[in-house]
Amino acid sequence: MKAIRIHAHGGPEVMRWEEVELPPPALGEARIRHAAIAVNFSDINQRRGGFYSAEPAPMPLILGNEAAGLVESVGPGVTQVAPGDRVAYVGVNAAFYQQTGAYAEARNMPAARLVPIPLGISDGQAAAMMVKGLTASLIVNRVYRPKPGDAVLIHAAASGVGLILAQWASHLGATVIGTVGSPDKARIAAAYGCEYTILYREDDFVAAVRGIAPKGVHAVLDGVGKDTFMTSLDCLRPFGIIVNYGNASGHVPPLDILDLSKKGALSVSRPGLSHYLKEPGALHTAAAELFSLAADGTLKIEIGRTYPLRDAAQAHRDVEGRMLAGSIVLIP
Ligand SMILES: NC(=O)c1ccc[n+]([C@@H]2O[C@H](COP(=O)([O-])OP(=O)(O)OC[C@H]3O[C@@H](n4cnc5c(N)ncnc54)[C@H](OP(=O)(O)O)[C@@H]3O)[C@@H](O)[C@H]2O)c1
Task: Report yes or no: 243 and 269 within 8 Å, Cβ to Cβ.
Answer: yes
Q: What is the CATH number of the domain that holds 198?
A: 3.40.50.720
SS (H, E, C) 90-119: ECCCCCCCCCCCCCECEEEEEHHHCEECCC
Measured in angstroms, how far is the CA atom of residue 42 from the centroid of ligand 1?
9
Find the domain containing 77 and state its range. Answer: 2-129+301-331
Residue 44 CA, closest ligand 1 atom number: 47
Q: What is the residue with the minimal CA distance to atom 12 of ligand 1?
A: 223
Atom of ligand 1 nearest to the CA of 227: 28
Separation of CA 169 and ligand 1 centre (Å): 18
Q: Where does the pLDDT of residue 97 fall: very low under 50, low under 70, confident under 90, or very high at 90 and above?
A: confident
Give pLDDT, residue 204. Answer: 98
Q: Is 287 among the domain residues?
A: no
One domain for residues 269 and 140:
yes
Q: How many domains would you assign to the chain?
A: 2
145-163 core/surface letters (b: 16 or more CB in 10 A; e: else): ebeeebbbbbbbbbbbbbb
Query: What is the reported pLDDT for 280?
Result: 86
Distance in Å, CA 304 to ligand 1 centroid: 14
Query: Is residue 316 domain-shared with residue 184, that is, in the same domain?
Result: no
Q: Are residues 41 and 124 in the same domain?
A: yes
Whether residue 144 is found in the same domain as residue 213: yes
Q: How confident is the model at residue 52 (pLDDT cuts 50, 70, 90)?
A: low
- For residue 207, the one-letter residue type is A
- Checking if the pLDDT of 302 tops 90, the result is no
Q: Which atom belonging to ligand 1 lies closest to the Cα atom of 39?
A: 15
Residues 97 and 48 grouped into a single domain: yes
What distance in angstroms lies between residue 242's CA and the mean position of ligand 1's atoms? 16
Q: Which pLDDT band holds residue 297 (cuts at 50, 70, 90)? A: very high
Beta-strand relationship, 196-199 and 175-180: parallel
Whether 281 is covered by a domain: the verdict is: no
Q: How far is the CA of 322 from the centre of ligand 1 (A)?
A: 9
* CATH number for 38: 3.90.180.10
**Would you say the CB of residue 185 lies under 6 angstroms from ligand 1?**
yes
Does residue 295 sit within a domain? no
pLDDT digits (tens, 9 = 90+) for 120-178: 999 999 999 999 999 999 999 999 999 999 999 999 999 999 999 999 999 999 999 99
